Amino acid sequence: MTAVTVGSGPAPVSGALTDQAPGACAADAAESECLVRIRGLRFSHGPRVIFDDVDLDIRRGSVTAVMGPSGTGKTTLLKLISGQLRPDAGTIEVDGEPVHALRQSALFELRRRMGMLFQSGALLTDLSVFDNVAYPLREHLRLSPPVVRKLVLLKLEAVGLRGARDLMPNELSGGMARRVALARAIALDPMMILYDEPFTGQDPISMGVLVSLIRQLNDASRLTSIVVSHDVRETASIADYIYVISNGRVMAAGTPATIAAERSEWVRQFMDGLPDGPVHFHYPAPDLAADLLTRGVG
C-alpha cells in the first residue's frame, strides 16, 4: 500500500490512485470495476478555479465519500459527474461514457441510470409525495396506474414513508423531504446515486436514519453511492473509500482507516474539526491596522 504523503500546505496527492484499498480503482482497472473515472479535471466558475487537475475514481458497488470544507466545489463535482456542468479540461467517464462530451439525448439516457439527491431535496412543490415519487416512472415508463402505485409504495416503504404518501412537500420536515427525494431518486432503479450533503441540518435521529439508509440501499440494490459531505464522522462511518478535497486538489484519499491514520496537519485539522491550523480562521486580508487607517469608503 502506497503511503499517502501530504505536506502541511495544500499539496496534491500523487500516489493515491495506485492505492489498492477496497473502494479505489487501480489505475488500469477494468471498465466493469470502475463506474466513474475522472482524469485531469479542470473547472472554474469565472475567474475562480474550483478544480485544478483532479483525478478521481469511483468503484462499482462502493460507497465513496468526497469530503472537504464548504465552498471547495463538492456540489460542483456532483454536477460535473452528472453532466449539469461541463469541465474546462479533462475527462469524466461514467459507466464507460464520456459525460463531458455527450449530447443531450445521450446524457438524458445516462441520467435515467443515475439518481441525485439535492441538498434541498428539490421536490416538485405542487405535487404530493406520491406524485413526486411517481413522476420519473410516469415520465419514462409506460406503466399502468396500478403498477405505478405498487412501485411507488415499495419505494416509499424503503425509506419508511409509505404513510406519508398524501402529504405535500411543504408539510414534510427536512429529514422527511430528503427521504422522499431519495425514494424518487431510486424510483427508476439507478446504478448510482449522488448524495449532496445528505446530513446537513438533520437532527441526530434523522441523521442516523439517513446514514443507515444510504448504506442499506447501496448494499441491498447493488448501487454505487457517492456521498458528498462535510460531516466527517457520519460520512466516514459508512464510506468504503474517502477523498478529501480542498483548494481544487485531492488532499488525501484512502479507506477510512487510512485517512484516520493520516498524519498531514491539514487533513488532521479537517477530520478533527480544529479551529486553527494550516487552514486559518481568517479569510486572507491585509493587516488590520493598515486596513483601518486606509481612508475611503470601500
Ligand X SMILES: Nc1ncnc2c1ncn2[C@@H]1O[C@H](COP(=O)(O)OP(=O)(O)O)[C@@H](O)[C@H]1O
- How many angstroms separate the CA atoms of 288 and 97, rounded? 51
75 touches ligand X (CB under 6 A)? yes
The CA-based dihedral angle spanning residues 259, 268, 5, 20, taken in that order and rounded to the nearest 10 degrees? 10
Binding mask 58-87 for Mg ion (x = CB under 5 A): -----------------x------------
111 touches other proteins (CB under 8 A)? yes
31 C-beta neighbours (distance < 10 Å), count? 12
Quick one: which of 133, 120, 255 has its CA closest to 198?
120
Region of 45-53, 175-183, 261-269, 271-279 interacting with ligand X (CB under 6 A): 45-53
Query: Could you say which of 15, 71, 160, 201 contacts ligand X (CB under 6 A)?
Result: 71
184 touches other proteins (CB under 8 A)? yes
Region of 66-74, 121-129, 158-166, 283-291 interacting with ligand X (CB under 6 A): 66-74
Do 185 and 121 contact (CB within 8 A), yes or no?
no
Angle between helices 129-140 and 174-185 (to 10 degrees): 20
70 touches ligand X (CB under 6 A)? yes
- How many angstroms separate the CA atoms of 230 and 60, rounded? 23
Quick one: which of 51, 121, 35 has its CA closest to 89?
51
Shortest distance, CB of residue 175 to ligand X, whole angstroms?
Answer: 20
Pairing outcome for strands 241-246 and 114-117: unpaired
72 touches ligand X (CB under 6 A)? yes
- How many angstroms separate the CA atoms of 71 and 95, rounded? 28
| Grid coordinates of 141 | 415508463
132 touches Mg ion (CB under 5 A)? no
Which helix (DSSP H) or strand (DSSP E) does residue 89 occupy? Answer: strand 89-94
21 touches other proteins (CB under 8 A)? no
| Residue 111 binds which entry of Mg ion, ligand X, other proteins, none, CB below 5-8 Å type-dependent | other proteins
| Grid coordinates of 243 | 477523498
Region of 64-72, 150-158, 214-222, 251-259 interacting with ligand X (CB under 6 A): 64-72
Q: What angle do CA 242, 275, 292 make, to 5 degrees?
A: 130
Shortest distance, CB of residue 125 to other proteins, whole angstroms?
Answer: 7
Query: Could you say which of 33, 139, 189, 219 contacts other proteins (CB under 8 A)?
Result: 139
Query: Could you say which of 39, 42, 112, 268 contacts other proteins (CB under 8 A)?
Result: 112
Q: Which residues bind ligand X (CB under 6 A)?
A: 45-46, 50, 70-76
Instruction: Give contact residues for Mg ion (rule: CB under 5 A).
Output: 75
Task: Give contact residues for other proteins (rule: CB under 8 A).
Answer: 82, 84, 104, 108-109, 111-112, 114-116, 118-120, 122-125, 135-136, 139-140, 181, 184, 188
